[in-house]
Amino acid sequence: MYRVYKSLVTKWNPNKNPSNKVEDEAKFQEINEPFKAINENKAKEKSKSCNDPIVSSPGGSSHHRKSMEESLFYRPAILLRSLSRKSSSQSTSPTFLPKSASSRDNSSKNETHRRGSSDMEKLVLQTSMSRLSPRSSIIFSQSTQLRKPPPIEKKLECTLEELCYGCVKQIMISRDVIINGIIEQQGEMVSITVKPGWKRGTRITFDGKGDERPGYQPADLIMVIDEKPHLLFEREDDDLVYKVEIPLVKALVGCSLSVPLLEGEKMSLSFDLIFPGYVKIIKGQGMPIAKEIGKRGDLRINFLINFPMFLSSEQRFDASTILKDCSYLDFL
């Protein structure tokens, strides 16, 4: 197709036959109009397929592209150079073009030859135009659809309080966007409504809020919930775990403790005897259950008993005397 088109524009190049320049320019214009119309239709189709323009290489503005297009279709020298590059890159077969007239005799011969074959050239040109029609499935196939790049993931750290009661977080994100064919960094504020009961690993997807790249759809942005470490509590699924250290003597003779809650309040608890492995469970003081509105997990109190590092002989004898008749089953 490009060989036929190049042959036609070369033959009717006004610069090669100054004596018949007016007619050659009219013919040259007639050949270029269909190609220009097809390119414009193709650009409109691409602009409908996506919100942002698809740019093959950064650095060019829309005004620059328009001026290059006009120069290509209305200046013969630029058009010939462009077609020469395209034909050489697409095909290795030689293209035979009529030589330019060097004298009046040659000019008249070429003129007779051109006029005699004008009907055939018109038929070839019309056939090529029909194949390049914007409605043709060959040109506008599924290959023109933009591909979706992998999503971009970022962490969103939340405290246990925020995940327990919910909150709205405003996050400033920075992403690459295409502006007039140039990739620039742009900041944008996104709002995330954190719902009660969300856990580490919860994913929030923002469609098209990731980086933009030429030839691709905008990537998605995925915010992944991460839990900040808490000073008092650890989370295990929907339960909260509170660890408290007590000396051995309090574990044996009993004690009273003030246990903090996630809301900031405190609960007083009394214990007669605390043995190793004992866990106190407080119902309904854990994290909200996301799938069961109004329900919460439990608060588990784990006791860490501090044993003495050294006992004297008398102390060991006294402990042995007191505890010799005791067994683990007595505490159950």
pLDDT score of 230:
95
The reply to whether CATH 3.40.50.300 applies to domain 233-331 is no
pLDDT value at residue 289: 93
Give the pLDDT of residue 81. 57
Q: Which of 74-83, 130-139, 156-165, 302-311 has the lowest mean pLDDT?
A: 130-139
Task: Give the confidence band of 33 by pLDDT, cuts at 50, 70, 90.
Answer: confident
Residue 129, pLDDT above cutoff 60: no
* Residue type at position 76: P
The answer to whether 178 and 212 have CB atoms below 8 angstroms apart is yes
**What Rg, from alpha-carbon coordinates, does the chain have?**
41
Average pLDDT, the chain: 74
In the prediction, which pLDDT does 32 show? 73
Question: Phi then psi for 299, rounded to 5 degrees?
Answer: -105, 120
The SS3 assignment for 285 reads coil
* Residue bearing the bigger pLDDT, 101 or 165: 165
- Residue 77's pLDDT is what? 53
Average pLDDT over residues 41-55: 47
**What is the C-alpha to C-alpha distance for residues 234 and 244, in angstroms, rounded to an integer?**
12
For CATH 2.60.260.20, list the domain ranges present in the chain: 152-227, 233-331
Least confident of 81-85, 130-134, 216-220, 238-242: 130-134
SS3 281: strand
pLDDT in tens, 178-226: 988 899 999 999 999 999 999 999 999 999 999 999 989 999 999 999 9
pLDDT at 311: 85
Q: Does residue 115 surpass a pLDDT of 70?
A: no
Structure pTM? 0.52
C-alpha 289, offset from chain centre: 31
| Phi then psi dihedrals of residue 9, to 5 deg | -70, -30
Distance CA 247, CA 274 (A): 10
**Following DSSP, what letter does each residue of 273-303 receive, concatenated?**
---TT-EEEETT-S-B-TTSTT-B--EEEEE
Q: Averaged over 300-310, what is the pLDDT?
A: 91
Determine the distance from the C-alpha atom of residue 22 to the mean position of all C-alpha atoms in its chain, rounded to a whole number: 55
Instruction: Report in angstroms the alpha-carbon separations of 92 from 87, 89, 205.
Output: 8, 8, 49
Residue that wins the pLDDT comparison between 19 and 119: 19
Model pLDDT, residue 122? 54
Q: Is the pLDDT of residue 330 over 70?
A: no
Q: In the predicted model, is pLDDT for residue 262 greater than 80? A: yes
CA–CA–CA angle 166, 156, 231 (5° rounding): 70
Residue 163 banded pLDDT, cuts 50, 70, 90: very high
325 pLDDT higher than 50: yes
* pLDDT recorded at residue 69: 43
- Cβ burial of 39 (10 Å; 0-12, 13-18, 19+) is middle
Give the pLDDT band of residue 293 (cuts 50, 70, 90).
confident
Return the pLDDT at 309.
Answer: 87
Per DSSP, the three-state class of 137 is: coil
The CA-based angle 279-270-267, given to 5 degrees, is 85
Does domain 152-227 sit in CATH 2.60.260.20? yes
Look up tokens 């036959």; give the residue: 17
Percentage of residues in the chain having pLDDT higher than 70:
62
| Cβ contacts of 115 within 8 Å, gap of 6 or more | none
pLDDT at position 326: 73
